[in-house]
Amino acid sequence: MALSDADFLAESVAHDSGLMLSLTAYQIKFMRKDGYSAILLCTQDGANALLEDAGCTAAMDRHRWRDDPGSPCTYSVDLKRLCSQAQQ
């Protein structure tokens, strides 16, 4: 059974209830594809992307608020390509 984004987020932060409070100021999207996952953190109104991260890499993949300010709240990483490279 696939989890909704809201359920996935709730399970991800269940170990620390304070995390959910700090995330209410943002819109958070999750992508699950081909066995990989990514998270996209956007402004609360959903207009601009702030952070983008694939679960297969150790570091934050893109600081979009800094590197591409004002970019839309859409994924920009090729998740399959990035994760395939990270596994090598």
Please state the domain extents for the chain: 5-86
Per-residue tokens: 23: 């995330």
Give the distance, in angstroms, between the CA of residue 83 and the centroid of all CA atoms in the same chain: 14
How far apart are the C-alpha atoms of 47 and 54, rounded to whole Å? 21
Instruction: Please report the pLDDT score of residue 1 as a whole number.
Output: 57
For residue range 52-72, list pLDDT tens digits in order. Answer: 999 999 899 999 999 999 999
Instruction: Report the 10 Å Cβ neighbour count for 77.
Output: 17
Residue 79: what are its φ and ψ, rounded to 5°? -60, -45
- Asked if residues 13 and 35 have their Cβ atoms less than 8 Å apart, the reply is no
- pLDDT tens per residue, range 7-48: 877 887 788 878 877 788 899 998 888 888 899 999 999 999
Burial class (CB in 10 A: 0-12, 13-18, 19+), 33: exposed
